[in-house]
Amino acid sequence: MIQKYFKNWCGERLPLDTIRNHFKNKFVPRHRHTIWYYLGGLTVFFFVIQLLTGVLLMIYYKPTMEGAHQSVVYIINEVPFGWLIRSIHSWAANLMIATLLLHLMRVFYLQAYRPPRELMWMSGFILLFLILGFGFTGYLLPWDDIAFYATQIGTEVPKSIPLVGPTLVALLRGGEDIGEATITRMYTLHVFVLPIATLLFVGIHLFLSQYYGASKPITTRPKGKDIPFYPNFVLRDLRTWCIALILLIGVAILMPWGLGEEADILRPAPEGVKPEWYFIPMYQTLNILPARILIFDGETILNSVLMIGGFVVFLLPFLDRKAKQRERNKFILTAGTLVILYCIVITVSAYI
């Protein structure tokens, strides 16, 4: 009775029938790559977990040099289930980046970025940078020694960008060195600026994905009839989320996220300081690159290559000349595969 009244009340005020009809008429292609369609939803799922656990951590965290590390110790030791919430937050962050990278690779290999989905690719690419930004800004917040030195290395990288480099570093650090101002800035970016920007772009990305629907790969044969989005695919998404939740809680409980020694700016850097795994390709390339190549600085060359490369990937839908003929672009696929292989090899070599 109440349910019916509420349904009617909402139906008179909101376009519920239009939404229902949209979902009823939406279908997801069924082929041997259908499994990869779950990665986008999985990334959103981890993002929601990040928002929820992040809010809980914010209640106790103190973004100051004196308070940061001690407040994290307090969260782990004193707050009921604090260790679990922090562990889930840290593990989900890594899993979110992993699923996002896999989702990006799925779109790239199935060439789903092609027209009319250019805006989806571009909004997704911006989301990748925002999510990496979360990782970078969140890494310093526990204020332990590894985080401190990794951030020092990380914030040093933009220094060699011509014209804007030193200003960018000063803007990130809030001064010449990492200190109180850096924590405050990273915290503001991590809990306010990046979440708002990410929610905006996630909204745009989801709207576009509903508008265009799932792309059909050009060379893959269909495997039966399409799957209705609602309820069939939504339930499959829920099933994936349940499995992800079990795995996430499992690793968070059995391998709780640790905490290093409190950062001391006067102490020399400990051995084996590395950034998070998703920044390793850039960090390792910087290590193997000579300090000077001809008349140019090694770091400047790397920054320039990364900026040009990023710009090329961002504009990929417009550069793919075979999109109109609906053929596989072997050049783009080979180039992308080489870059991915390089990143995997160099990341693995950093840990061996």
Contact positions toward another protein, by CB under 8 A? Answer: 27, 69-70, 73, 76-77, 83-84, 222, 224-228, 231-232, 235-236, 238-239, 242-243, 245-246, 249-250, 253-254, 256, 258-264, 266
**Closer by beta carbon to another protein, 196 or else 247:** 247
CB of 263 to another protein, least distance (A): 7
In single-letter form, the type of residue at position 12 comes to E
Contact 139, 94 (CB under 8 A): no
Nearer to another protein by C-beta: 236 or 328? Answer: 236
Q: Is 225 helix (H, G, I), strand (E, B) or coil?
A: coil
Strand partners, 27: 228
Phi-psi bin for 304: left (phi > 0), alpha (psi -120 to 50), beta? alpha
Burial class (CB in 10 A: 0-12, 13-18, 19+), 17: exposed
Q: Which CB, 265 or 333, lies closer to another protein? A: 265
CB of 242 to another protein, least distance (A): 4
CB of 351 to another protein, least distance (A): 22
Nearer to another protein, 237 or 276 (CB): 237
Nearer to another protein, 257 or 283 (CB): 257
**Which residue, 127 or 252, is less far from another protein as judged by CB?**
252
Q: Measured between alpha carbons, how far apart are the two ends of the chain, in Å?
A: 64
Distance CA 336, CA 147 (A): 31
CB 326 within 8 A of CB 217: no
Q: Give the shortest CB-5-to-another protein separation in angstroms.
A: 17
31: CB partners within 8 A, 6+ apart: 216, 217, 220, 221, 222, 223
Considering beta carbons, is residue 249 or 350 the nearer one to another protein? Answer: 249
Q: Are 145 and 261 in contact (CB under 8 A)?
A: yes
Helical residues (DSSP H) of the chain, grouped into ranges: 2-13, 16-24, 38-60, 68-77, 82-109, 118-140, 145-156, 165-173, 180-188, 194-212, 234-254, 280-288, 298-314, 316-319, 330-351
On whether the CB atoms of residues 82 and 75 are closer than 8 A, the answer is: yes
- If the CB atoms of residues 16 and 243 are measured against another protein, the closer one turns out to be 243
Closer residue to another protein (CB): 82 or 275: 82
Least distance (Å) between residue 223 CB and another protein: 10
Residue of 236, 221, 298, 294 whose CA lies nearest to 33 = 221
Task: Report the nearest approach of another protein to the CB of residue 94 (Å).
Answer: 19
| Tokens describing residue 207 | 């709207």
In the complex, minimum distance from the CB of residue 256 to another protein, in angstroms, rounded to a whole number? 5
- CA dist., res. 139 & res. 175, Å (int): 19
The CB-of-114 to another protein minimum distance in angstroms stands at 20
We find the least distance from the C-beta atom of residue 44 to another protein, in angstroms, to be 18
